[in-house]
């Protein structure tokens, strides 16, 4: 049928504008044997031809109306086009008369549309119309009237001809580039056989739409390689946010320039460096054009969002004009949160006012205070909460809020160092083991000039973190300063917290007398002031000190009291910690079944409530018990998991887990590495245990003597007795 249709067209085209007799056409189309009803067959064929050609019925035959030359207004395709395979595949699957490519400014919509239009050319033999409507331009935009006049002229019409009438019986592709919503409808062909391809910064959900994102990492590398940019371009790509416009500007600016120098310029003045000198091409100028198209209310919202320093924005903070910003592709929605491209975030940040920043800070502080109050996990509030804090319904909601907002909170506390915000975040960051975040923001607040109780609060945070990372002398100094500052302010509960941390530090470095004295001072404050959660923590620490002093019965009594009190008030953090410490004491008493039950209880609570630090400790202690029970592979699994959880944040757990693995592997080299690290960090108890373990492995009496001497000099009576028992059992 297709061949006969072409024969018919050729026969009519041989006499353009003139009627061709019916019989002559039949002879041309069926040169051999004509069909049984030739006129009917010819009518059927002509009706098919009219889908693409204008054919007029005359009394004597059919006449083909000649088509004017097909216009092709498409710009040239870019020779260095890269990537977009997924988007091109999605466009190929679209079977709709109108297709739209939308996305944020500078993302490469026009480039992709031109590539797609060239791909489609063969499907539209009667021409391809193109117009840059300049919907986002410093100069005047193209009006509908101007565009229609250009299209009519290109189609061979005159001033009085109708655009859509000229498209009748033609197959034409219309490309509307940089269109705003109000000009699209009058320019669409609305004629069978024609199609339209639109690019816009605004969302166009009424059409078959492909939303364009930034380039993939590999595509960005390919683009720069095509522009002959040599060297490691990874940071350049990151600073450009993989935005095609930014990458092309960067590539143009690098002609004859040293890549590291330009990258350094980008680090310091990113938007300013992403422009081409003596040219209008610039990322910031492109953003300006979209910004000017917004309503006044949407501009105000956009400026305000620039005051949020983190990676995304919660719905509650976004404002009621957020939908306009999403539709303009200046903001992307991800469920109930909103994001700005890196470069757009910098642009918005520059527009935000001091009032915006103050409002964002207070919004987060009020909610952080409310969430911290709801956790109720036994942490002493280091500073008073704001009187207008926002309440949360329960612990789960508070933890979920902290998790969702953690990156924003940390970024906010870095940008606006403030002890009150750090204090509100402290319990959550400690419970979940986010030590690096807490160190960063506490140090920033202390360095910002905080004094008095506010400085003391930051010192307590830093003392705890230095302790966990083996910086004991710095931790002791910070603790003493915090104790003095809180004592001067009459803040007893906070003073006791610092005393408790100081006691823990002295415990780990083997100065048990000092540890017991500081714990006694803390407990003396907790008791009369009815600070039950704090008392529970103090009793738990006291139990460990009593263990090392060889007072196992007293240690068990303190820990059982701690566990009982924690269970009574549903303090799951101290309950988990108390069960872990109780397991250590029960294991020391050779009550392995009771100890295993305690460790399992601690791990169950840790997993349920996301208590990463307690989980790490419980896994290491449980692994020691499993070794004693001959279950070495189970011990290995727990130690390796603890090591994984510790990461780079908790040196004590890291070294302790490595000691367990040295025991499991019976490795002298691993024992030696643990000994080196424990000595460097002054982890006295771990050092003594490692000496004893190595001595037992290699049967070295001198090592046994050294381990016993170290234990006794530190007052670690339990450890000294245990090593003596171990030596006598192997001799």
- Cβ 548 vs Cβ 722: under 8 Å: no
In this predicted structure, the answer to whether residue 498 has a pLDDT above a threshold of 60 is yes
3-state secondary structure of 448: coil
In this predicted structure, the answer to whether residue 561 has a pLDDT above a threshold of 50 is yes
Highest mean pLDDT: which of 28-37, 219-228, 429-438, 451-460? 451-460
Least confident of 57-66, 463-472, 520-529, 662-671: 520-529
- Cβ 345 vs Cβ 310: under 8 Å: no
**Mean pLDDT taken over the chain:** 89
Confidence of residue 298 (pLDDT cuts 50, 70, 90): very high
Least confident of 423-437, 516-530, 686-700: 516-530
2-64: in CATH 1.10.20.60: no
Measured CA to CA, the distance from residue 503 to residue 517 in angstroms comes to: 8
Confidence of residue 46 (pLDDT cuts 50, 70, 90): confident
Q: Which of 250, 243, 260, 261 is nearest to 225 (CA)?
A: 250
Q: Which two tokens stand for residue 632?
A: 């070495």
In this predicted structure, the answer to whether residue 649 has a pLDDT above a threshold of 80 is no
In this predicted structure, the answer to whether residue 174 has a pLDDT above a threshold of 90 is yes
Name the more confident of 583 and 31: 583
In this predicted structure, the answer to whether residue 378 has a pLDDT above a threshold of 70 is no
Q: What is the pLDDT of residue 731?
A: 45
Beta bridge mates, 99:
197, 208
- Cβ 310 vs Cβ 330: under 8 Å: no
- Cβ 639 vs Cβ 661: under 8 Å: yes
Backbone angles phi, psi at 333, to 5 degrees: -95, 135
Span 359-376, mean pLDDT?
92
Least confident of 42-51, 178-187, 673-682: 42-51
In this predicted structure, the answer to whether residue 346 has a pLDDT above a threshold of 80 is yes
- Cβ 303 vs Cβ 348: under 8 Å: yes
pTM of the model: 0.73
Measured CA to CA, the distance from residue 189 to residue 299 in angstroms comes to: 34
Q: 609 Cβ partners below 8 Å, 6+ apart?
A: 431, 572, 573, 576
pLDDT tens-digit readout, 524-538: 887 655 567 778 888
Q: What is the pLDDT of residue 730?
A: 58
Tell me how crowded residue 688 is: count the other CB atoms within 10 A of its CB: 27
Residue percentage of the chain with pLDDT more than 70: 97
Q: What is the pLDDT of residue 1?
A: 56
Measured CA to CA, the distance from residue 399 to residue 396 in angstroms comes to: 5
Sign of the CA dihedral running 466, 469, 473, 476: positive
Confidence of residue 293 (pLDDT cuts 50, 70, 90): confident
| 715, burial (CB in 10 Å: exposed 0-12, middle 13-18, buried 19+) | buried
In this predicted structure, the answer to whether residue 605 has a pLDDT above a threshold of 60 is yes
Burial 351-369 (b: 16+ CB within 10 A, else e): bbeeebbeebbebbbbbbb
In this predicted structure, the answer to whether residue 669 has a pLDDT above a threshold of 90 is yes
Q: 375 Cβ partners below 8 Å, 6+ apart?
A: 395, 398, 399, 427, 428, 431
Q: What is the pLDDT of residue 660?
A: 95
Per domain, the residue ranges of the chain are 2-64, 85-212, 217-285, 294-351
Domains 85-212 and 294-351 are alike in CATH topology: no
Q: What Å distances lie between residue 640 and 43, 102, 557, 686, CA to CA?
A: 82, 48, 32, 17
Name the more confident of 347 and 50: 347
In this predicted structure, the answer to whether residue 595 has a pLDDT above a threshold of 70 is yes
Which helix (H) or strand (E) is 645 found in, with range?
helix 632-646
Sign of the CA dihedral running 670, 629, 718, 555: positive
> Chain centroid to CA 430: how far?
21
Measured CA to CA, the distance from residue 468 to residue 19 in angstroms comes to: 97
Q: What Å distances lie between residue 287 and 104, 201, 309, 491, CA to CA?
A: 9, 11, 19, 52
Least confident of 11-20, 437-446, 660-669: 11-20
- Cβ 106 vs Cβ 286: under 8 Å: yes
Measured CA to CA, the distance from residue 53 to residue 581 in angstroms comes to: 89
Q: Which two tokens stand for residue 597?
A: 């039950």
pLDDT tens-digit readout, 145-169: 999 999 998 888 888 888 998 888 7
Measured CA to CA, the distance from residue 555 to residue 549 in angstroms comes to: 9
In this predicted structure, the answer to whether residue 691 has a pLDDT above a threshold of 50 is yes
Measured CA to CA, the distance from residue 548 to residue 147 in angstroms comes to: 88
Tell me how crowded residue 702 is: count the other CB atoms within 10 A of its CB: 8
85-212: in CATH 3.40.50.300: yes
Measured CA to CA, the distance from residue 374 to residue 563 in angstroms comes to: 21
Residue percentage of the chain with pLDDT more than 90: 50
Q: What is the pLDDT of residue 27?
A: 87
> Would you state the CATH architecture of domain 294-351?
Orthogonal Bundle (1.10)
SS (H, E, C) 512-540: HHHHHHHHHHHHHHHCCCCCHHHHHHHHH
In this predicted structure, the answer to whether residue 196 has a pLDDT above a threshold of 80 is yes
In this predicted structure, the answer to whether residue 67 has a pLDDT above a threshold of 80 is no
Measured CA to CA, the distance from residue 373 to residue 384 in angstroms comes to: 11
Helix-helix angle 572-588:612-628, to 10 degrees: 20
Sign of the CA dihedral running 680, 682, 686, 691: positive
Confidence of residue 69 (pLDDT cuts 50, 70, 90): confident
pLDDT tens-digit readout, 71-82: 888 888 877 788
């Amino acid at each position: 049928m297709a061949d006969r249709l072409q024969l018919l067209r050729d026969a009519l085209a041989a006499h353009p504008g003139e009627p061709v007799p019916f019989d002559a056409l039949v002879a041309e189309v069926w040169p051999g044997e004509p069909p049984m009803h030739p006129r009917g067959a010819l009518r059927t064929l002509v009706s098919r031809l009219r889908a693409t050609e204008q054919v007029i019925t005359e009394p004597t035959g059919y006449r083909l109306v000649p088509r004017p030359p097909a216009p092709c207004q498409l710009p040239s395709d870019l020779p260095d086009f890269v990537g977009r395979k997924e988007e091109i595949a999605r466009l190929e699957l679209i079977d709709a008369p109108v297709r739209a490519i939308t996305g944020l400014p500078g993302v490469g919509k026009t480039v992709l549309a031109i590539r797609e239009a060239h791909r489609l050319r063969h499907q539209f033999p009667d021409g391809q119309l193109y117009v840059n409507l300049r919907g986002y331009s410093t100069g005047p935009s193209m009006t509908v009237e101007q565009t229609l006049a250009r299209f009519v002229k290109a189609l061979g019409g005159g001033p009085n001809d109708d655009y859509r009438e000229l498209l009748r019986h033609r197959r034409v592709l219309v490309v509307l580039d940089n269109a705003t919503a109000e000009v699209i409808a009058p320019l669409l062909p609305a004629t069978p056989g024609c199609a339209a391809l639109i690019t816009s910064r605004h969302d166009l959900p009424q059409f078959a739409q492909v939303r364009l994102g930034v380039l993939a990492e590999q595509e960005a590398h390919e683009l720069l390689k095509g522009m002959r940019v040599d060297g490691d371009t990874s940071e350049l790509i990151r600073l450009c946010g993989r935005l095609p416009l930014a990458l092309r500007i960067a590539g143009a600016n690098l002609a004859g320039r040293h890549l590291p120098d330009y990258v350094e310029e980008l680090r310091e003045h990113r938007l300013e460096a992403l422009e081409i000198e003596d040219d209008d091409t610039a990322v910031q100028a492109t953003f300006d054009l979209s910004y000017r198209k917004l309503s006044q209310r949407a501009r105000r919202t956009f400026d305000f969002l620039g005051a949020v320093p983190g990676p995304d924005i919660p719905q509650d903070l976004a404002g009621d004009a957020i939908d306009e910003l999403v539709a303009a592709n200046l903001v992307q929605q991800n469920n109930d949160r909103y994001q700005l491209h890196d470069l757009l975030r910098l642009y918005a940040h520059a527009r935000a006012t001091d009032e915006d920043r103050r409002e964002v800070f207070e919004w987060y502080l009020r909610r952080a205070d409310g969430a911290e109050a709801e956790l109720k996990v036994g942490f002493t509030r280091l500073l008073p909460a704001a009187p207008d804090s926002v309440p949360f319904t329960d612990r789960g909601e508070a933890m979920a809020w902290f998790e969702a907002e953690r990156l924003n909170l940390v970024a906010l506390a870095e940008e606006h160092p403030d002890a009150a915000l750090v204090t509100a975040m402290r319990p959550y960051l400690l419970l979940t083991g986010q030590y690096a975040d807490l160190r960063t923001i506490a140090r920033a607040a202390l360095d910002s000039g905080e004094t008095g109780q506010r400085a003391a609060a930051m010192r307590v945070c830093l003392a705890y973190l230095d302790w966990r990372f083996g910086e004991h002398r710095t931790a002791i100094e910070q603790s003493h300063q915090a104790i003095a500052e809180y004592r001067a302010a009459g803040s007893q509960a906070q003073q006791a917290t610092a005393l408790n941390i100081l006691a823990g530090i002295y415990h780990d470095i083997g100065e048990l007398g000092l540890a017991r004295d500081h714990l006694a001072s803390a407990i003396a404050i907790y008791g009369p002031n009815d600070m039950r959660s704090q008392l529970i923590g103090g009793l738990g620490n006291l139990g460990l000190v009593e263990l090392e002093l060889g007072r196992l019965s007293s240690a068990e009594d303190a820990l059982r009291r701690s566990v009982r009190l924690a269970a009574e008030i549903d303090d799951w953090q101290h309950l988990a910690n108390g069960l872990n410490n109780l397991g250590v004491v029960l294991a020391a008493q050779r009550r392995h079944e009771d100890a295993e039950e305690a460790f399992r209880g601690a791990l169950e609570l840790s997993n349920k409530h996301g208590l990463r630090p307690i989980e790490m400790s419980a896994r290491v202690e449980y692994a020691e018990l499993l070794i004693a029970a001959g279950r070495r592979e189970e011990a290995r699994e727990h130690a390796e998991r603890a090591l994984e959880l510790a990461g780079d944040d908790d040196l004590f757990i890291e070294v302790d887990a490595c000691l367990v693995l040295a025991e499991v592997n019976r490795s002298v080299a691993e024992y030696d590495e643990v000994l080196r690290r424990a000595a460097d960090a002054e982890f006295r108890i771990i050092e003594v245990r490692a000496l004893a373990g190595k001595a037992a492995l290699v049967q070295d009496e001198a090592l046994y003597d050294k381990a016993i001497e170290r234990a006794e000099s530190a007052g670690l009576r339990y450890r000294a007795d245990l090593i003596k028992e171990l030596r006598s059992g192997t001799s």
